[in-house]
Structures are given as structure tokens and as C-alpha cells.
A and B are shown apart, each in its own frame.
With several copies, the nearest count.
Chain A
């Protein structure tokens, strides 16, 4: 099993793909590494959130994704 990283909105363009499978477990350092430098730069911003298993993390630096988890990278939103 693995962790699936999901790139939302403009992060998808930066990542060049919609999802990326990486080995579990995945912590913050591992995420920055797996996401690539362009996305990692965005992740540094407070305005970019991270969800794990369908919940937005209040402290993204404490990420601890396990086998089968989906980790969604959420840039600033715009609806309406």
C-alpha cells in the first residue's frame, strides 16, 4: 500500500499530474521531498492547507499519513 498525494487547483499545474503515489508512512519532510521543489515552495505558505484522510490538518507540519491515506494539497480557494 502507499499514500496518494492529490494536487488541487493550481498545484496540479505545478506538479504536472493530478496524483502521485508515494510509500507510506509520509511525514512533512517526506511530503516536501515527494511534492517536488515547485509545490514545496507553495506548501511553505500559510495559505496552502493540507488534508489527510479527508480532514484539514490544523498543523500541517505534524502530517503523519499511513498506508491508504489520501493527502490533499489545498491552495487558496476561489468559488462563486
Chain B
């Protein structure tokens, strides 16, 4: 199973992971990561934009790369775009594999790339004004761990 999507409306990350698990009965391990808009940090809203001709193609290449690097039975990768509020899911990556470490490494790998190397732009509404967010220095170094 392979499920790569950009969603412009709300999605249920737990259903996504549950469906992946159901569709991969021969997997011994399912790892998932859910990124959500944090509450309590002063962010009133978050907006994600993308450039459709590049974004989907980039996510498909990232999925190809994950299947090539890790021993995977299934992969779901869903990223929101549009307007979100605290608590809303932004991204969910779920991976199914025979042994646990491939599934865990896959969500780590995919998130590092979605964070700083996929065609998304993110801004936050704080105290009534919008601020563009750039990846932290650590997000770039996290991604660079995977370079061969």
C-alpha cells in the first residue's frame, strides 16, 4: 500500500495509520508521526501554501526514496495545505515494515525531508499578524543526516 496525498481540508491521522495497519497484515511494525498545530504557544492560526506542479511530484519522489532505502510494506504520507488552527493535524506519515526499525527510520526520514525540502511554505498568525516560518538550523542538519 502506498498513499501519498495533499489535503486541502481536515483529515484524520489516526484513521490513516489504522488503515495502513489493516492493509498490511504481514507487517510486524507500524510507525507513525503526526505533526499538529501547537496550542498554547501564541499561534492563532497557521497557513500552508504549496506549488502544486512541484509539491506532489516531490512527495512521490520522497516516497520512492523511502521504499528504496528501507524494507517497507506500506507507506502513507499526507500533508495539509490551507488554513489551520491549533490542534489541527498538519502532516502524518505512517510506515509498515517487517521489522520495527525500518518503519521508525522511514517516518524519521520522511519528516526530515517534508520539513525542509518539500515545496511548502508556512506562516503563523501571532497577535494579529502573519509571520513566515523558515526551518530551524537543526531541521537542515536533521535532513543532512540522510545524505549518502
Checking A51, A75, A77, A78 against B53 with a beta-carbon cut-off of 8 angstroms, the contacting residue is A51
| Cβ contact within 8 Å between B135 and A76 | yes
Q: Is B100 an interface residue (CB 8 A)?
A: yes
| Cβ contact within 8 Å between B91 and A79 | yes
B: contact size bracket:
20 to 34
Instruction: Specify which chain B residues have a CB less than 8 angstroms from the CB of A51 in the assembled complex.
Output: 51, 53-54
Instruction: Specify which chain B residues have a CB less than 8 angstroms from the CB of A8 in the assembled complex.
Output: 49, 51, 121
| Segment at the interface with A among B13-21, B63-71, B112-120 | B112-120
Q: Is A68 an interface residue (CB 8 A)?
A: no
Q: Which residues of B are interface residues toward A (Cβ below 8 A)?
A: 35, 48-49, 51, 53-54, 79, 90-91, 100, 111, 114-123, 132-135, 139
A: contact size bracket:
10 to 19
CB distance from A16 to the nearest CB of B (A): 14
Q: A78-B116, A80-B114 are in contact. Are A10 and B100 (CB under 8 A)?
A: no
Checking B51, B122, B134 against A74 with a beta-carbon cut-off of 8 angstroms, the contacting residue is B51
Q: A9-B121, A51-B51, A54-B53 are in contact. Are A78 and B100 (CB under 8 A)?
A: no
Q: Is A31 an interface residue (CB 8 A)?
A: no
Checking B54, B111, B133 against A78 with a beta-carbon cut-off of 8 angstroms, the contacting residue is B133
B100 nearest CB neighbor, chain A only: A80
